[in-house]
């Protein structure tokens, strides 16, 4: 996977870059409009992570320019802190594949990228296997153990999916909460909703097989291990 990060804020660029490198992506960077335009023209990327307010031009123009070129097959994800609401609509109209307002979670970014890949390559029945014989049909939203279906609520399924997607990473309650309640501004970050969800998931799964793959990391959060 070849990713171009177009971001003029150096610290942010560095963090995204580090994260993607650790997740085994091939990463390229551009810090200005001109640099980005040139790199998009010359190289072929799977993803372009696009900041909108760039020195030398507007990221939306870059997107427009790239979409005019039929050879360019990169998926664009707009990352912006600009408050203007029509940017989102404009961006998606111009052919951006997704839009993440800053600040965003790197995990969220990664799961969006994976969702785009899934769409792009038409992986309709993507099965993820984990733990002791559990398999997850993401588009069908079904969890199975062997031939048996494990009944989970919508939120429980989303939570487990997110954990499985970021296998071997510790996810904090905040990160999990943000994924579940993404668009809603919650101010009770201390609430124990996530803990209750995990408790219920464990209870439901343990009826079929051991759930020791779903670990609690004391004081921090949860992790799904291989």
Instruction: Summarize as ranges the residues that interact with other proteins (CB under 8 A).
Output: 9, 11-12, 15-16, 18-19, 22, 53, 81-86, 101-107, 153-156, 169-170, 172, 174-175, 178, 183-191, 193, 196-197, 218-221
Whose Cβ is closer to other proteins: residue 81's or residue 151's? 81
Whose Cβ is closer to other proteins: residue 124's or residue 167's? 167
Least Å from the CB of residue 40 to other proteins:
23
- Closest of 90, 13, 104 to residue 58, by C-alpha: 90
Least Å from the CB of residue 19 to other proteins:
6
Whose Cβ is closer to other proteins: residue 130's or residue 173's? 173
Whose Cβ is closer to other proteins: residue 11's or residue 71's? 11
Rounded alpha-carbon distances, angstroms, from residue 196 to 59, 138, 155, 173: 42, 23, 11, 11
Least Å from the CB of residue 96 to other proteins:
18
Q: Which residues of 164-193 are buried (b: 16+ CB within 10 A; e: fewer)?
A: bbbeebebbbebbbbbbeeeeeeeeeeeeb
Least Å from the CB of residue 178 to other proteins:
8
For residue 171, what are the contacts with CB-CB under 8 A and spacing of at least 6?
A: 107, 162, 163, 221, 222, 223
């Amino acid at each position: 996977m070849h990713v171009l990060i177009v971001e003029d804020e150096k610290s942010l660029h560095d963090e995204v870059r580090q994260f993607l490198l650790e997740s085994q992506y091939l990463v390229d960077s551009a810090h200005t409009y001109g640099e980005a335009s040139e790199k998009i023209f010359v190289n072929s990327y799977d993803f372009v992570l696009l900041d909108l307010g760039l020195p030398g031009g507007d990221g939306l123009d870059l997107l427009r320019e790239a979409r005019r070129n039929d050879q360019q097959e990169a998926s664009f994800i707009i990352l912006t802190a600009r408050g203007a609401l029509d940017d989102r609509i404009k961006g998606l109209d111009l052919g951006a594949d997704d839009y993440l307002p800053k600040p965003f979670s790197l995990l969220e970014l990664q799961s969006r990228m994976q969702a785009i890949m899934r769409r792009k390559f038409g992986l309709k029945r993507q099965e993820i296997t984990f733990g002791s014989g559990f398999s997850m049909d993401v588009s069908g939203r079904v969890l199975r153990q062997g031939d048996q279906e494990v009944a989970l609520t919508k939120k429980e399924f989303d939570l487990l999916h997110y954990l499985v997607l970021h296998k071997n990473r510790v996810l904090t309650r905040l990160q999990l909460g943000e994924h579940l309640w993404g668009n809603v501004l919650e101010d009770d970050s201390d609430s124990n909703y996530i803990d209750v969800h995990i408790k219920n998931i464990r209870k439901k799964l343990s009826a079929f097989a051991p759930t020791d793959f779903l670990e609690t990391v004391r004081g921090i959060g949860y992790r799904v291990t291989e």
